Homo-oligomer: A and B are copies of this chain.
Amino acid sequence: MTRRATLRDVAELAGVSIKTISRVVNGTGPVAETTEHRVRAAIDELGFRPNPAARSLRVGHDDAVGLVIENIADPFMATLTAGIESRIRAAGKLVIITSGGYEPENERAAIESLAHRRVAGMIVTPTSMSHSYLAQGVATVPLVFVDRPPIQFDTDTVLSDNEGGARLAAEHLIAHGHERIAFVGDRIGLFTTSLRYQGFRAALTAAGLPVLAHHVRTDVVDPDSAAAATREMLAGDDPPTAIISANARSSLGVIRGLHEEPSSMVAHVSFDDFEGAESLSPPVTVVHQDPIAMGRTAADLMLERLDDPSGPPRHIVLPTRLIVRGSGELPPCDPS
């Protein structure tokens, strides 16, 4: 493999002009049957593949798809990425990932960097609630939002059913006789926390149960603070008999908190599944989102959008489902 074959090489070997090769490769314009055969043979013989840089320069955009996420090390995001990547790759394109690292400024820079590379489109999980820069045309290509709603403008979106999933969790606990159910989650300003809290609230209200302020914590940013919140609630007056944790990180903390007080058998449902949930004792009942499906769906939306940029934005909400494992089926057990 001394030098890479170019259109010209193929043209020479096939005895036609480079434009004809281009036509065969891209399926543009009519080509005679016999010519096409000759050209294909030449392409195979030389192992020709078009140079993406040259094409990008000429047509003004790359055929890679950019992915902007907060943190690839987050298991949910990593799995989402796997779904996206497999679909995009199956379409013969590449994924270029960039992390914003929870910093809106970084995120903006990442998007600009991708825009500058003229990616064909971007799949984005915006960090901040205010991504006005996106509306200002920082990205001039198709945009698909995942796990975050579009705020200031409308575009293709894939979400999972945050509210419905949380309602499911609460209804499950209520069905098992619980009347004092706590909610432990990340900052309420986050889109997902907010919707999950609404679902929780709706289920309690529908069952005629009060939503008690001291049973709601939405300021928990890591496992440690979730564990602390759990301890405080259990130690306080009127402790809950069941806890819903609103995301995987919080769940780990809640579990730690519960394990420290093994005498009180408090029921627990986690929003979002996590590795090892079934290895715990009791195994953790969870509301399962399907990050792989979310990723695939987002990628499909993108591919369709690239194919046909017109048409109204589509908003897809993927269902969640309850996976019963044990921790969510514990009966209410009054420690008082």
Q: Are B223 and A252 in contact (CB under 8 A)?
A: no
- Residue in contact with A276 in the complex, picked from B53, B72, B78, B252, CB distance below 8 Å: B252
Cβ distance A94 to chain B, nearest Cβ, rounded Å: 6
Cβ distance A188 to chain B, nearest Cβ, rounded Å: 24
Take A73-B79, A276-B276 as given contacts and tell me if A101 and B116 are in contact as well, using a CB distance cutoff of 8 Å: no
Residue A99 lies at the interface, judged by CB distance under 8 Å to chain B: yes
* Chain B residues, CB < 8 A from A95: 96-98
For the complex, give the distance between the alpha carbons of A74 and B85 in Å: 14
Interfacial residues of chain A within 174-193, with CB under 8 A of chain B in the complex: none
For the complex, give the distance between the alpha carbons of A98 and B89 in Å: 8
- Residue in contact with A255 in the complex, picked from B52, B64, B137, B279, CB distance below 8 Å: B279
Q: Are B276 and A140 in contact (CB under 8 A)?
A: no
Q: Render A67-110 as a binary contact track against B, CB cut-off 8 A, 1 for contact.
A: 00001111101110110011001000011111101000000001
Q: Are B78 and A72 in contact (CB under 8 A)?
A: yes
Residue A280 lies at the interface, judged by CB distance under 8 Å to chain B: yes
For the complex, give the distance between the alpha carbons of A1 and B112 in Å: 12
Q: How many copies of this chain?
A: 2
Residue A57 lies at the interface, judged by CB distance under 8 Å to chain B: yes
* Chain B residues, CB < 8 A from A101: 86
Q: Are A82 and B99 in contact (CB under 8 A)?
A: yes
For the complex, give the distance between the alpha carbons of A5 and B292 in Å: 39
Residue A56 lies at the interface, judged by CB distance under 8 Å to chain B: yes
* Chain B residues, CB < 8 A from A49: 116
Take A85-B72, A275-B275, A279-B252 as given contacts and tell me if A52 and B117 are in contact as well, using a CB distance cutoff of 8 Å: yes
16 contacts between A and B (CB under 8 A): A51-B116, A52-B117, A53-B62, A54-B57, A72-B72, A72-B78, A73-B75, A85-B97, A86-B101, A89-B99, A94-B96, A95-B97, A96-B97, A262-B281, A275-B275, A276-B277
Residues of chain A at the chain B interface (Cβ within 8 Å): 1, 49, 51-54, 56-57, 62, 64, 71-75, 77-79, 81-82, 85-86, 89, 94-99, 101, 110, 113-114, 116-118, 137, 140, 223, 248, 252-253, 255-256, 259, 262, 274-281, 292
